[in-house]
Chain A
Amino acid sequence: MMTEDATITQDEPPRLGVDATPAFRIEHLSKTFFPGSRLRPRPPVVAVDDVSFALPQRSTLAVVGESGSGKTTVARMLMGLEVPTSGSIEFLGRPLSVRTAKDRRRHARSIQMVFQNPYRSLDPRQKVGGSLDEVLKLHTSLSAAERRTRSRELFELVRLDARLLDSLPSNLSGGQRQRVCIARALACEARTIVFDEAVAALDVLVQAQVLNLLADVQAETHVSYVFVTHDLAVVRQVADDLVVMQAGRIVECGEVSAVLDAPQHPYTQRLLAAVPREGWTPGL
């Protein structure tokens, strides 16, 4: 869907799919961090180096790579949490700018993020219905009663019992909490949701439910997803396109089935070889 050949040429951004306006498009994105203090600077770190790709609406993109490959930095730039050193990000055809709190709020309406640890992303002293209500209050003009109805709908969407709205996070299991986080990400009808290792820590039975659920929600609402992950089995199950990053650069990208069936880059081959399966022995 994105490129015909599996290896990317950085000068030509990958081509887009069917939708005329992609959910987002990033071009020649780079990010350099300057660690250390002003008096004792340490060498600059190029976290993301000339990365270009686009995500068609209603599709799912996976970004894989080991820790330090820059995948989370890309996600944070998409969210407007980091400012790119160079390059451009476009959302639904409009350039991203998050200079003020108002910009930030508007941006949050088009893109939401679900984090890795469902135990840390909810306020332990706030009922989960309350954290949902807060998001609705911020992003919509619904009345209190309407917000309550909407909360119930959202819980239904993620297959949670509406009675759980009045529970504290500590009374929910990890899988239930992660579904609350997903409901919260869906609350303001974001067009894109970024999952940063958000399904890795779930038990397999819960993970299966959550992955099915996300597929259903996408079919119903046309939302697009970005999965930042290192789990290639999850990638195969949910994603349409795949971007493989190493040391801040895209080393391979294309349709998931094409890349995983015939990986071209040695790094992608190494990632695939490290997935435990029948007859596999770990190697150094």
Chain B
Amino acid sequence: MNSALQVEDLRMVMPSTEGDLQLLRGVSFSVAKGEAVGIVGESGSGKTLTLRAAIGLIPPGASVTGRVRIDGESVLDLSGRPLAQLRRDKAGMVFQDPHAAINPVYRVADFLTEPWRKAPGRERAAAGERATQLLSRCQIADPARVLASFPHQLSGGMLQRVMIAAAMMRDPGVLLADEPTTALDVTTQSEVLALMNEVRAERGASLVLITHDIGVVAAICDRILVMYRGRIIEELTPAQLYAGQISEPYTEALLSCRPDVTHRRDRLPVVAAGAFDERYAD
């Protein structure tokens, strides 16, 4: 048993006035220890729901079936303190908008060492040291200044590094990142991706990365999962992607509709909304 994260037949249904919405329609995949897996798809395809369900974050009112295992523990059967412990120790989460995800009234130091708030003094001091180490590992030149800052005093790129450091504080086996670089400019994106890659490789952690930029996942992931309407419709490697070994028209469309930085096209290919509904119906 060497998978860090295992998702089996995950289904999510949300009741609404217009009938039940099938948000996830049987998602299955596993991530081996040390492996990086990327999930791409348009908004509403269920990629964020899948990632959040993996750590037991279920939207209110939704009913979930299936199994999720992180490091052998069945996440969907946990609640309360054991679930909180799992989120703290075994799965680090990085969100899209660091300014929205980090409590604005605490200093960065408090945010990073929160899990040790009730620990005895010695351990708390050790946590502070670890925070300093991780921040310098995350290419932050002046950790002391950053630790003493409030989130609003830092730029998006800087705060995203803080969030990565926070996710790595307890040395989790899995790092889950939801559009971690979408809000950043390209040079900062490159730095943050490189950093996530390095920190992860160094500690042998697995990565699940969600993005809508297929170029980003192809650059740092071992495998790419393509989601559409609550299901994984294709799985391929970056090499297959660039070699054009794509079997699903939706994946093809995702790749061909991107504007290309090397040349201008007369018109971008247009895919009508709902063009794939029939192909990927139940």
Complex alpha-carbon distance, A268 and B182, angstroms: 20
CA distance A238 to B268 in the complex (A): 11
In the complex, B267 has a CB within 8 A of chain A: yes
Known contacts: A67-B155, A277-B261, A282-B197. The answer to whether A237 contacts B187 by CB under 8 A is no
Contact with A along B199-235 (1 / 0, CB 8 A): 0000000000000111110111000000000000000
**Smallest CB separation, A213 vs chain B (Å):** 9
User: Is B82 located at the chain interface by the 8 A CB criterion?
Assistant: no
Asked whether any CB of chain B lies closer than 8 Å to the CB of A271, the reply is yes
Given contacts A237-B268, A276-B213, whether A173 and B259 have CB atoms under 8 Å apart is no
Contact status B260-A208, CB under 8 Å: no
Q: B139 and A284: CB pair below 8 A? A: yes
Interface residue from A201, A208, A256, A281 paired with B268 (Cβ < 8 Å): A208
Instruction: Kindly list chain B residues whose C-beta atoms are within 8 Å of the C-beta of A207.
Output: 257, 259
Residue on A nearest B195 in the bound complex, by CB: A284
Whether A236 contacts B220 by the Cβ 8 Å rule is no
Decide yes or no whether B270 CB sits under 8 A from chain A: yes
Q: What is the CA–CA distance of A238 and B267 in the complex, to the nearest angstrom? A: 10
CB neighbours (8 Å) of B218 from chain A are: 276, 278
Q: With a CB–CB cut-off of 8 A, which chain A residues contact B237? A: none
What residues on A are CB-neighbors of B190 within 8 Å?
Answer: 273-274, 282-284
Contact A236 B185 (CB under 8 A): no
Q: Is the CB of A211 within 8 A of B212?
A: no
A94 within 8 A of B: no
Instruction: Give Cα A260 to B156, complex, Å.
Output: 26
Instruction: Determine if B259 and A234 form an interchain contact, defined as CB atoms under 8 angstroms apart.
Output: yes
Q: Is B281 an interface residue (CB 8 A)?
A: no
Partner of B212, one of A204, A209, A257: A204
Within 8 A of A (CB), among B139-187: 139, 155-157, 182, 184-187
For chain B, the count of residues having a C-beta within 8 Å of the partner chain is 46
Residues on B with beta carbons closer than 8 Å to the beta carbon of A205: 42, 253-254, 257, 271
Contact (A282, B186) CB under 8 Å given A204-B257, A233-B260, A272-B261? no
Pair A208/B43 contact, Cβ less than 8 Å = no
Contacts of A11 in B (CB 8 A): none
Contacts of B194 in A (CB 8 A): 281-284
Of the candidates A68, A211, A236, the one whose C-beta lies within 8 Å of that of B261 is: A236
Judge whether B9 is part of the interface by a CB distance below 8 angstroms: no
B261 adjacent to A260 (CB under 8 Å): yes
Q: B265 within 8 Å of A by Cβ?
A: yes
Bound complex: CA A278 to CA B214 (Å): 11
User: Which residues in B have their C-beta under 8 angstroms from that of A204?
Assistant: 42, 212, 214, 254, 257-258
Residues on A with beta carbons closer than 8 Å to the beta carbon of B185:
66-67, 230
Using CB atoms, name the residue of chain A closest to B261: A233
Q: Flag whether B264 is at the interface (Cβ < 8 A).
A: yes
Query: Whole-angstrom distance between the alpha carbons of A276 and B260 in the complex?
Result: 10
A130 CB to closest chain B CB (Å) equals 23
Tell me which residues across on chain A come within 8 A of B261, comparing CB atoms: 232-233, 236, 260, 272, 275, 277
Q: Does B242 reach chain A (CB closer than 8 Å)?
A: yes
Pair B254/A236 contact, Cβ less than 8 Å:
no
Question: Binary interface profile of A, 14-53, with partner B (CB < 8 Å = 1, else 0)?
Answer: 0000000000000000000000000000000000000000
By a CB distance below 8 angstroms, the chain A residues around B188 are 66-67
Q: How far is the CA of A211 from the CA of B263 in the complex (A)?
A: 15
The residues in A between 238 and 284 inclusive whose CB is less than 8 angstroms from any CB of B are: 238, 256-257, 260, 270-278, 280-284
**B254 CB → nearest A CB, Å:** 6
Set of chain B residues within 8 Å of A203, measured between Cβ atoms: 42-43, 212
Tell me which of B219, B242, B253, B263 contacts A281 (CB under 8 A).
Answer: B219
Q: How distant is the Cα of A206 from the Cα of B139 in the complex, in angstroms? A: 36
Which residues from B are CB-within-8-Å of A13? Answer: none
- Complex-state Cα separation, A7 to B121, whole angstroms: 58
Residues of chain B with a CB closer than 8 A to A211's CB? 259, 268
Knowing that A174-B43, A233-B260, A281-B219 touch, tell me 20 more A-B residue pairs with CB under 8 angstroms: A204-B212, A204-B257, A205-B42, A205-B253, A208-B269, A209-B270, A233-B261, A236-B259, A236-B262, A237-B260, A256-B264, A260-B262, A271-B187, A274-B186, A274-B189, A276-B213, A276-B218, A276-B219, A277-B215, A282-B197
Q: What residues make up the interface of B, taking CB atoms closer than 8 Å to A? A: 42-44, 139, 155-157, 182, 184-195, 197, 212-216, 218-220, 242, 253-254, 257-265, 267-271
Q: List 30 A-B contacts (CB under 8 A).
A: A67-B185, A67-B188, A173-B43, A204-B42, A204-B212, A204-B254, A205-B271, A206-B42, A207-B259, A208-B271, A209-B268, A215-B267, A230-B185, A231-B186, A231-B259, A232-B261, A233-B260, A233-B261, A234-B259, A236-B260, A237-B260, A260-B261, A270-B187, A271-B186, A273-B190, A274-B186, A274-B189, A282-B192, A282-B220, A283-B190
